[in-house]
Amino acid sequence: MKNISGSFKLVVCLFLVMSTLLQACTSKDKITESNFVGKWKSSKLETPVYLYPNGEWEIKQDNGSVLQYGVWEYKDKNIIWSFKTDRGVLRDVNPVVSISPKEFKLTELDKSTTIFTKLD
């Protein structure tokens, strides 16, 4: 009977440790829009891309002139870009492949990968 009681205690302890670790990993790895806010260098552009916390984005030159702008959001593991063109407002949905504090990668419509490296 003592062995069963000792084994049960061991199983309960292991369960509690694993549950705590799983919860810590899950909350730590949660990606939100705040992970993307900042000044970024795109692998497909020379001009920096600014992602603002209010959901706006700009491609802005060092002299302050804006080349393109719109709104963005992070939803369902995608970055959704919206911008106005001669054809109206367009949306570009790009799945997020990976993210770290200094870099994120998106899959483009043509299946290529764009890498964004943090500048600030």
Number of H helices, E strands in the chain: 1, 8
pTM of the model: 0.75
Model pLDDT, residue 120: 84
**What does each C-alpha distance from 44 to 11, 34, 96, 103, 112 come to in angstroms?**
52, 23, 16, 14, 11
99 pLDDT more than 90: yes
Over residues 41-91, the pLDDT tens digits come to 999 999 999 999 999 999 999 999 999 999 999 999 999 999 999 999 999
| Long-range contacts from 29-32, C-beta under 8 angstroms, 24+ separation | 31/74, 31/77, 31/96, 31/99, 32/74
Q: Domain extents for the chain?
A: 1-30, 32-118
For the domain 32-118, what is the CATH code?
2.40.128.280
